[in-house]
Amino acid sequence: MPTSVVTGGAGFLGSHLADALLANGHRVICVDNLETGSLANIEHMRADEFVFVPHDLIQAIRIDEPVDFVYHLASPASPIDYLRLPLQTLKVGSYGTHNALGLAKFKRARFLLASTSEVYGDPEVHPQPETYWGHVNPIGPRGVYDEAKRYAEALTMAYHRQQGVDTCIVRIFNTFGPRMRPYDGRAIPNFVRQAVEQKPITVYGDGSQTRSFCYVDDLVRGLILLQESGEHLPVNIGNPNEFTLLELAEKVIEVFEATSEIVFEALPVDDPKVRQPDITRARQVLGWEPRIELDEGLRKLRASLPREAPVA
């Protein structure tokens, strides 16, 4: 039975990845300090094949059993989290990635870095292929996340080229699904919470900025395919169907049958104006493409929520 370490395994993506790996017959060791994750995301994983190790990745990690794969996902990911935790974000991207790569080197395990579309910043090339090097503001508030991930990519390639570690890098584009925290601040959990509570939907700016939303099951399938491939260079994983934020708000209202109005609030500093993955490499290298479009993903998300209490 192969053993996979998932750092950040109690978070949104990490817990879905752990579920998929367990279903594929892996033993899973989840390493997490619960900074933005939660035990509620993993409490259903009671199998003997699942182990939770509470640990801050900023400190070196020791695991006393063979490891075949390291999936390194630990990092704050939502803008409200990394703006609240700027130093921890830089430290987990740097020391944390060193420690996870060191573990992979020691165990001779294959290593996957969860990088991000944020390495492209507010892009001048659209859609973004992996060959585009980005347009990031290093000193703006989002710089702590974007530069931590860019450093982590450089570090991963150095461990690969100089230390011979078998590595890969996935650049994840906006992903959504069950287990996102209602108050994690990202667009879909905000809009969904607001729609369920029949409150106004808060669109930042004029809503003309775009994002491309991938359902979590598609994303996890891509992570596992990449980890099990022989690829070393970055691969974009995301859904190339692009929507304005205003279109997203309207879709959420429709799918959740909400009566909410749309209100406009200030656009955050350095908020990227467009984002759309070019997934040519994912198609060629992994034979991967998304199967679940935004409408269907939103319907699945609605079905996963606890039933709304009947109005008395």
Contact status: 286 vs ligand NAD (CB under 6 A):
no
Contact status: 187 vs ligand UDP (CB under 6 A):
yes
Smallest distance, Å, CB 243 to ligand UDP? 10
Contact status: 97 vs ligand NAD (CB under 6 A):
no
Site for ligand NAD, residues 33 to 52, rule: CB under 6 A = 33-37
HEC sequence for 81-138: HHHHCHHHHHHHHHHHHHHHHHHHHHHCCEEEEEEEHHHHECCCCCCECCCCCCECCC
Site for ligand UDP, residues 280 to 309, rule: CB under 6 A = none
Quick one: which segment of 4-12, 31-39, 90-98, 183-191 binds ligand UDP (CB under 6 A)?
A: 183-191
Closer residue to ligand UDP, CB minimum distance, 122 or 217? 122
Contact status: 121 vs ligand NAD (CB under 6 A):
no
Catalytic, 145? Answer yes
Contact status: 190 vs ligand UDP (CB under 6 A):
yes
Among 5, 11, 194, 231, binds ligand NAD (CB under 6 A): 11
Among 3, 75, 236, 260, binds ligand NAD (CB under 6 A): 75
CA 242 to chain centre: 18
Among 38, 202, 229, 244, binds ligand UDP (CB under 6 A): 202
Site for ligand NAD, residues 156 to 195, rule: CB under 6 A = 172, 174-175
Contact status: 57 vs ligand NAD (CB under 6 A):
yes
> In the complex, which residues of this chain contact ligand NAD (CB under 6 A)?
7-8, 10-14, 32-37, 56-58, 73-77, 92, 96, 114, 116, 172, 174-175
